[in-house]
Structure 1
């Protein structure tokens, strides 16, 4: 008998890759969402669609009854209440996996480890907030909801990715860098190029979700991340290789950036303190990350086919050229 997977979300970025991962693994898949975005699986006979708002408990219970899933992957739980309700509604499934975040860690450590690094605290106000500032606390509280559900006998687990990149990335944070390298001979990189922000390929998040659903332990959280964590300067070089081009990297510190009224943090994916997740725990389940030559080939190909540029996520080219002009005088 074929296993069934219910994907809460499932038509945009991580959810889209997750649907494909479970289909490839032989599951029958149902996507649960509001239908507000184009469904890439609308013509796919093996993907059913259940329309509803995941914040409405009645809709979730109806989906649980009609779909009767073996596995539930929760791509769109952004508030702790979402997780508490879902783990109650789907208490009897074989596996409920919540997509948490590396942002749930509340202490700066290198690397961040699931069973050692403290999580963010979450106030009552943060738990119902929608701001970027409360994202990490909300995700951490969702983790604690998973742990509590597991103590009550639910086979609930969490997967913590850092920033995700890959095909269909509507955030366009990574697209900014692909666009820069693809269209210009010289690119400004903030700082000295050693800034480190661990990323993870979307397809590897999806495979991690499946592996955790099949092999993970209730009440556990698992980090996922690329096998190698390049510095910002390395990412530009890797992209140049993937785009089959050459690019000169111009490193600019705070003084040079000030000439264009820019700061280091104006560039997407810049983080002052290194962010690195330990992934040994999920690897012990049999999960392996995809090499960068493969992840970037797929990312670049889809980027060029899309209309995304990411340019609004970072400095304008005009501002970048002002910085380049300053650097040339030094």
Structure 2
């Protein structure tokens, strides 16, 4: 049986990756600090506690587990990737979870090896802010490429905005909450904004497939087969909930009445963000239909104790904007 080590493994992408690997016959160990509930207690998944930023801890788990495959879900600084590719330099596959945010050039779509990556300064490389996230992920990709040149079987997977069951980011939760509790949902712009999303189970399957079939030194984008607009997301949520909702479009001038910046709305950006997934599909990967993925996402939210109202602009400010729009109508 192939031994897999998942660095992370209990929250979101890592949790689904563990399930994906187990479903395909892997013997799985997770390695993390143990700060979150372990959904794999009493399931045969071994848990080794340690700090992945501590090279000694990482070397200890490498020795204890002797994995064939390493999936690195929580490498947030380039030094994390350099350390991991050095310590796991003899594994059959090391797969780094990068991000579509690593791309530093706006292009439609963004393609591996063609669209330029973010630059990363020395200061950004050791930062932990949201502003440096893309540059840090891009520097991690470059560390993967350098390791592959030295003979390490290292690859990179770049998801766009990941959603699905157990999503703790609240990005889709916000829209589910609005649809489930209000008849009118405020959407910035004209609703055609596209910020490519990736269903979490598809990200997990991509990580496994790249580990099995990917070429060292290569990066692979992952995202929904059909990218949906913000309007289509809201309409899809309403369909799953069997709710009737009025989508109200608004521009920056009207939003100013509620002191709202369009960027406050989750999953909104001015310029479309779209990744090509042809390279990953060439390895045999297939995406889950958006309708099925969204149904599972909404059902998980309904069954959870999460409250998406804490994300995005608060409803009181939105109501002020709706009032202005009603006056202008």
TM-score (norm 2): 0.98
Counterpart among 243, 246, 253 of residue 244 in structure 2: 246
Map of 1:227 onto structure 2: 225
Residues 50-199 of structure 1 mapped to structure 2, 5 A cutoff:
50-199=48-197
Counterpart among 287, 292, 302 of residue 294 in structure 1: 292
Once residues 180 and 261 of structure 1 are traced to their aligned partners in structure 2, the CA distance between those partners, rounded to angstroms, is 19
TM-score (norm 1): 0.98
SS of 1:259's partner is: helix
Over residues 101-157 of structure 1, what are the superposed CA-to-partner deviations in whole Å (9 max), with x where a residue is unaligned? 001001000100001000111111110011111111100000000000000100000
Once residues 297 and 194 of structure 1 are traced to their aligned partners in structure 2, the CA distance between those partners, rounded to angstroms, is 21
CA displacement at 1:255 relative to structure 2: 1.3
Once residues 43 and 25 of structure 1 are traced to their aligned partners in structure 2, the CA distance between those partners, rounded to angstroms, is 19
Once residues 311 and 240 of structure 1 are traced to their aligned partners in structure 2, the CA distance between those partners, rounded to angstroms, is 16
Residues 13-52 of structure 1 mapped to structure 2, 5 A cutoff:
13-44=12-43, 46-52=44-50
CA displacement at 1:59 relative to structure 2: 1.0
Point out where structure 2 has 5 or more consecutive residues left out of the alignment. none
CA displacement at 1:310 relative to structure 2: 2.2
Q: Tell me how many residue pairs correspond in the alignment.
A: 328
CA displacement at 1:312 relative to structure 2: 2.1
Once residues 306 and 14 of structure 2 are traced to their aligned partners in structure 1, the CA distance between those partners, rounded to angstroms, is 19
Cα root mean square deviation, aligned: 0.8
CA displacement at 1:244 relative to structure 2: 1.6
Once residues 92 and 245 of structure 2 are traced to their aligned partners in structure 1, the CA distance between those partners, rounded to angstroms, is 49
Over residues 196-242 of structure 1, what are the superposed CA-to-partner deviations in whole Å (9 max), with x where a residue is unaligned? 10010111100000000000000000000001111111111111111
Segments of 4+ in structure 1 off by > 4 A?
none
CA displacement at 1:276 relative to structure 2: 0.2
Comparing 243-252 and 151-160, the one that deviates more: 243-252
Counterpart among 317, 320, 323 of residue 322 in structure 1: 320
Map of 2:209 onto structure 1: 211
CA displacement at 1:245 relative to structure 2: 1.4
Once residues 42 and 224 of structure 1 are traced to their aligned partners in structure 2, the CA distance between those partners, rounded to angstroms, is 29
Once residues 108 and 256 of structure 1 are traced to their aligned partners in structure 2, the CA distance between those partners, rounded to angstroms, is 27
Once residues 294 and 133 of structure 1 are traced to their aligned partners in structure 2, the CA distance between those partners, rounded to angstroms, is 33
Once residues 223 and 231 of structure 1 are traced to their aligned partners in structure 2, the CA distance between those partners, rounded to angstroms, is 19
